[in-house]
Amino acid sequence: MNLAEQFQSYFRRGEKEKSKYDHLNGQKIDYAYSIFWTKIAREWDTDRKALMAERVDALIASPEFQNNPLKRVYFIEDLDEFEHAGASLLALQKVLAAFRNLE
């Protein structure tokens, strides 16, 4: 391998690392978040589900909301101590709506 090929090989390694999440499409991300939130929300009482649904709905309806798949930027008061990705909150909204329809 000559020097030019070595440089190309070196820089291509970074491309492989950037694409480690390429296999995650919107459907897989939604499924994973939905399973996660179902496990969490099934432990909540009806009042907590309603409160969290109200807060999530308000954030999602806001103009600054973006459906970002992985970057955690949104905080919901009293949900937990973490920030969440837009796709995660959309999945939570869907899960809470499903629970509401069951009750």
Per-residue confidence (pLDDT) for residue 43, from 0 to 100: 96
Average pLDDT along the chain: 85
C-alpha torsion angle, residues 81, 82, 83, 87 (rounded to 10): -120
Which band of pLDDT confidence, cut at 50, 70 and 90, is reported for residue 70?
A: confident
- Cα angle: 100, vertex 46, 74; to 5 degrees: 80
CA distance 79 to 44: 11
The closest of 93, 41, 29, 33 to 62, measured between CA atoms, is: 93
How many percent of the chain have pLDDT more than 70?
75
| CB-based contacts of 13, cutoff 8 Å, min separation 6 | none
